[in-house]
Amino acid sequence: MTQNNPAKDIRDTLVNDDGVTTAIYIGSEPSTPDECVTLYNTSGDEPPSPKYLLDHPGLQVRSRANSYETAYTNILQVFDLLVGRAAFTKNTTRYTGIIALTNIFDLGQDENRRRILVCNLKMFVEPAAGSQNRKSI
């Protein structure tokens, strides 16, 4: 499959196009800094189209900070920038829509008493044509 890593594309979009300054990581949350956002690729809620180049990957956004307010502000910024965003292309992949599967919710605290908030998103993705059997939309 020629689809890009969705979490990387979203991080690059948030940092390079939207100017988000909070540290954003992919797939693994580091022990430091205390304040960060981590993006995780998830399976989404339906499989890719068997006929057309249309995928529905999921994305989990996780925000961590020493205070609840900071963690909430950071995840809300990402949520607001992504949900309902107009179609865009990053590298060879076209993102035609992003919707929320959940609201922002609280996971409590980690072992260092930092607050953790999460939300889950669904993306509508048209990967670049490659050696696949699927057709462009």
Tell whether 133 is covered by a domain: no
pLDDT at 132: 67
Tell whether 44 is covered by a domain: yes
- Which residues fall within 8 angstroms of residue 133, CB to CB, at 6 or more apart? none
Mean pLDDT of the chain: 92
Mean pLDDT over 90-118 rounds to 96
Residue 2 has pLDDT above 60, yes or no: no
pLDDT digit string, tens, across residues 76-100 = 999 999 999 999 999 888 999 999 9
Q: How confident is the model at residue 48 (pLDDT cuts 50, 70, 90)?
A: confident
Q: Give me the half-sphere count of Cα atoms (radius 13 Å) on the Cβ side of residue 32.
A: 0
Model confidence, pTM:
0.91
Q: Residue 90: give its domain's CATH number.
A: 3.30.2000.30
Full residue range of the structural domain in which residue 44 is found:
6-126
Number of domains in the chain: 1
pLDDT at 1: 42
Tell whether 25 is covered by a domain: yes
